[in-house]
Chains A and B, each alone.
Chain A
Amino acid sequence: MIQVFKDVKIDWLANRRIFIAISILLMLFGLGSAVFRQVKHPNGSEAFNMGVDFKGGTVVTVRFKQRPSAEVIRDALVKAGLKDAIIQPVTDKPDMVLIKIPLEGGGESQAQVEAGRAKVRESLSTFGPETGIDKDLNSDANAAFKIEGTDAVGAVAGAQLRNKAIATTLAALVGILMYIAFRFEWTYGAAAVIAVFHDVLVTLGFFSIFQWEVSLTVIAALLTLVGFSVNDTIVVFDRIRENRRLHRRESLYKITNDSINQTLSRTIITSGLVFLSVLSMVLFGGEVLRGFSLALLIGVTFGTYSSIAIASPIMVWWEQRLESANRSSAVTANRDQLRPIGASKRAAAATEASKQSRGAGRA
């Protein structure tokens, strides 16, 4: 039997200050980058490199037979009146280029989109004719380029998409908080949500620092990361819940450490596998999925880290505070009684099961 971790006995909680300090530092980095960039560019939201999905504008994907250099393309675009276009080569497709045109004008005209397709086509025709609509670029001897796709989003639609994305993420967090509060206790739920929130912030921080483009698919990745990170946290919390029933005498501190250690090999294996499948997305998924897979790659890493290093310490700290508060008010509250009915039933079942398993040969 191959075993990654056998009987690990790491005192995770002892390092909680270091963990939390690292996380705060990371979040501050991201936040600092966002604030710094925002202040540096007072006119627009430059904290993040917002894609057309959220900022509005047009992206035209062009495939060339012989790709001219970015400068030459830019010159051609400027001649057609497209001054602020960004020309971005596609990393895995050497013959392709993305031409990004920001929204022009103000007010009413920003609401509408006028796909820059016509203007781009006009300016690119200096390189040669475009392929016919239903023809392939390579089979058309005369053609020099082909417009493969356009994405044009107006300011209104962009704002709409952005608000929706934020609302969706927050709603998902609330939904998760409620479910965990129902299944465990609200301190567990709050700790899990804080940890997830941390993951989202750190990931967004990376996007701000490296100015990776934030698009709709990045939001999808953030939501996935929310699910994944909570997933990881729940596995640990589940074990804590189980161990608390089995070993009522033990301190929460020790139980939490034990639980993290017991689930460690699962955590590492699963996260490693998810990491690898996401990595395959980064490497082979192409340009369109790049933002998505990058966000997930970071998210998976920090999601795993946070369920051990953030969620558990916060939960323990919170529970201990509650306990001492209870004790000081001289109420001998058995916290088990505060559990929902279903949970106490399960608790009874678990004790029953543990009795049996002890009978079956535990020393």
Chain B
Amino acid sequence: MKKKNLLQRTIIIAIVTLLGLYVVIGPRRRPTRHDFTWSGIKATLAENIHLGLDLKGGTHLVMRVKTDEVLKNLTLADAATINKAIKDAGLPAKEATPETSNGSYRIVLEATDAARLAEIDQAAKKSLGNDQSYWTSSTSGNAVVFTLPPSAQSTLAEQATDQAQRIIESRLDAVGVAEPLVQRHGSQASHQILVQMPGIHDPERVKQLLKAESKLELVHVVSPPSPQSAQTYNTEEEAKATLGGTVPTNRRVLPYAERNEPTAAGQTATSDAQKQKKWVVVESPAVVDGNELRSAQAVQAQGGGDSYQIAFALKPTGAQKFGTWTGANINEYMGVVLNDEVKSIAFIKSQINDQGEISGRFTKQSADDLALTLRSGALPAPIEYQEERTVGPSLGADSIRSGVRASLFGLIFVVVFMLFYYRGAGVNAVVALLLNMILMLAGLIIFQATLTLPGIAGIILTIGMAVDSNVLIFERIREELRTGKTIPSAVEQGFARAFVTIIDTHVTTIISSMFLFVFGTGPLRGFAVTLVLGLLINLFSAVYVSRTIFMWELSRKRKLESLSI
């Protein structure tokens, strides 16, 4: 019976050990002769273990999507829509006023004829179209008030964050970042996105690219029609003055960098100061915006040389809108607006359907980046960077070296002490410890967990905790032996009694590590993962395996006079 039990245990341990070894140093392909050499094993190990950015090198970015901008823009746009509808229907109401402050978003529509309030309410609601579902409306006095309730606010903010995440993914993909990780970060309501890019050590370009809002709009410039030249102003104040001092919601005043023909190569990046900056008044909202964009490409400017421009095409829906509008506004001026700056103004000669271009003084790279950000769609809201960490490859390698060195020294201390102090039983502890290390690495690989520098610290701590289980057991066996028990019963009692304590100590440590894992961020999580994994495995290696070795020793001799412990 006992013999059979021992055999069963030995087989289980052997299988687990072999599986663990295979997972850790076995190649995931047909093995070659090289895989059995030291350098081959090292290479496979490095391939199998998923290293964190702090060890491998790379960039870690945390950004926040400014979702309040989305809500603000929605409120402004919907107020403009309502205004237009009310005006078109000729209803007696004052201009709808959007209110966006302190997290409350409202549109107040005041009727000049209170009797027709219901009619105005109906018309305003109808004009909102799909957006109607976000707003709740109520009437107070002679005004209709549209409010964005918290639930709608969070839905919209959530959508914007998801959309931003998708756009960031596609931008990273397009620029060729290898194996980027893009995921939500922090609590749901914080609207943060985490981006990790292994191998990117100088993230400036990528950062600019991710942050680039690249909002393209085609707008109607307020100006007398051609052949008179487009109406521009020398200062912003001058432009505003024509609107009566304040800018109404259906107008915008934008800077216009008048296009200079490209000069000699190398001087493409003319500084702003040299450009003649002017201002124009345009209608709001735009005729079509970046969402209607089908494609955008950097092409060499007609003059050739180092100057580039961006050719774009519109989607069918946008093209239809654009076609209708250009058809109806021949000889009017149209502006191409990029990021709230008018890039070019042209008068409409004939109906245009879906092609256009953005000219400016772009270099090849800036035109490429701009085209890319246009293609991947506009970010629904601006983003801001809250955390940026970069690790160079040699810094990561240094960390691995010092981590491995510290682990090895820790391991050697422990092994030497255990063998010295517990003699024969020390061997049990050492075998259990080594098995624990192998299985922990295997566990990291199986769960595809990331090994970080704090993770290595977790491994070192596990060495300490793992050996504690064996110390507890051995000390207990010694105690039982001192009370005069036979060796087999002392071993049995020692394991049984120490086991209760081991469970308690492991559970408490696992509890605190769980909190680290659930609430902690990046590096803390890496630490919690290895520690929990190490402790769970320890229950197997320090208790089950160590026990089996004792059983094996006890079964070898019929009568055991002494136990080396």
- A residues in contact (CB < 8 Å) with B: 1-3, 61, 63, 92-93, 111-115, 117-118, 133, 136-137, 146-154, 156-157, 160-161, 164, 167-168, 171-172, 175-176, 179-180, 183, 216-217, 219-220, 223-224, 226-228, 230-231, 234-235, 238-239, 242, 262-263, 265-266, 269-270, 272-274, 276-278, 280-281, 283-286, 288-289, 292-293, 296, 346, 353, 357, 360-362
Contact = CB atoms under 8 A, between A and B. Distances in A.
B497 interface: yes
A148 B395 contact: yes
A270 B523 contact: no
A112 B385 contact: yes
A262 B489 CA distance: 19
Interface string B359-402: 00000000000000000000000001111111110110011001
B495 to A, nearest CB: 13
In this complex, which of B457, B472, B514 has the most chain A Cβ atoms within 10 angstroms of its Cβ?
B457
Interface residues of B, number: 77
Interface stretch (B81-89, B128-136, B231-239, B505-513): B505-513
B457 A152 contact: no
B509 A149 contact: no
18 contacts: A2-B420, A150-B388, A151-B389, A156-B64, A160-B190, A164-B519, A175-B511, A216-B521, A220-B516, A228-B465, A266-B475, A269-B421, A270-B471, A276-B410, A278-B460, A281-B460, A293-B457, A362-B483
B509 A228 contact: yes
Interface of B: 54, 62, 64, 186, 190, 201-202, 204, 384-392, 394-395, 398-399, 402-403, 405-406, 409-411, 413-414, 417, 420-421, 453-454, 457, 460-461, 463-465, 467-468, 471-472, 475, 478-479, 483-486, 489, 493, 496-497, 500-501, 504-505, 507-509, 511-516, 519-521, 523-524, 527, 531, 565
A172 B510 CA distance: 10
Nearest to A176: B508
A357 B483 contact: yes
A175 B403 contact: no
Nearest to B417: A273
A149 B402 contact: no
Closest 9 CB pairs of A and B: A277-B410, A286-B402, A274-B464, A227-B509, A280-B409, A157-B386, A172-B512, A148-B392, A172-B515
B521 A161 contact: yes
Contact of A175 (B394, B464, B496, B512): B512
Contacts of B186: 160
Contacts of A360: 484-486, 489
B402 A115 contact: no
B388 A113 contact: yes
Contact of B515 (A112, A149, A175): A175
A223 B454 contact: no
A281 B507 CA distance: 25
B524 A361 contact: no
Nearest to A167: B519
A227 B389 contact: no
A273 B508 contact: no
A176 B509 CA distance: 8
A216 B519 CA distance: 13
B95 to A, nearest CB: 30
Nearest to A236: B501
Contact of B204 (A117, A154, A284, A361): A117
A280 B471 contact: no
A79 B331 CA distance: 55
Contact of B387 (A153, A283, A285, A361): A153
B386 A285 contact: no
Contacts of A146: 392
B414 A183 contact: no
A277 B509 contact: no
B527 A220 contact: yes
Given A227-B509, A235-B501, A277-B460, A361 B485 contact: yes
Contacts of A180: 508
Contact of A281 (B457, B479, B508, B513): B457
A168 B413 contact: no
Contact of A113 (B387, B410, B479): B387
A228 B385 CA distance: 37
B412 to A, nearest CB: 8
Contact of B512 (A156, A223, A361): A223
Contacts of A175: 511-512, 514-515
Contact of B389 (A149, A289, A346): A149
Given A167-B519, A168-B524, A289-B403, 9 more contacts: A118-B204, A133-B202, A148-B395, A149-B392, A274-B468, A277-B460, A277-B464, A280-B409, A285-B402
A100 to B, nearest CB: 14
A288 B52 CA distance: 15
Nearest to A217: B454
Contacts of A157: 62, 386-387
Contacts of A265: 475
Nearest to A216: B523
A168 B406 CA distance: 27
A262 B507 CA distance: 23
A154 B386 contact: yes
Contacts of A234: 501, 504-505, 508
A263 to B, nearest CB: 8
Contacts of A1: 478, 565
A150 B390 contact: yes
A296 B457 CA distance: 11
Contacts of A242: 497, 500
B464 to A, nearest CB: 4
Contacts of B465: 228, 231, 274
A55 B225 CA distance: 57
A284 B516 CA distance: 25
A161 B507 CA distance: 26
B529 to A, nearest CB: 12
B398 A238 contact: no
Contacts of B410: 276-278, 280-281
Contacts of A219: 524
A292 B507 CA distance: 23
Nearest to A292: B457
A227 B508 contact: yes
Contacts of B513: 223, 227
Contacts of B392: 61, 146-149
Nearest to A151: B389
A288 B403 CA distance: 10
A223 B497 CA distance: 28
B419 to A, nearest CB: 11
Contact of A183 (B405, B454, B504): B504
Nearest to A180: B508
B388 A148 contact: no
A173 to B, nearest CB: 8
Contacts of B493: 353, 357
Given A175-B515, A266-B475, A284-B402, A112 B394 contact: no
A266 B465 CA distance: 12
Contact of A152 (B389, B463, B509, B524): B389
B430 to A, nearest CB: 13
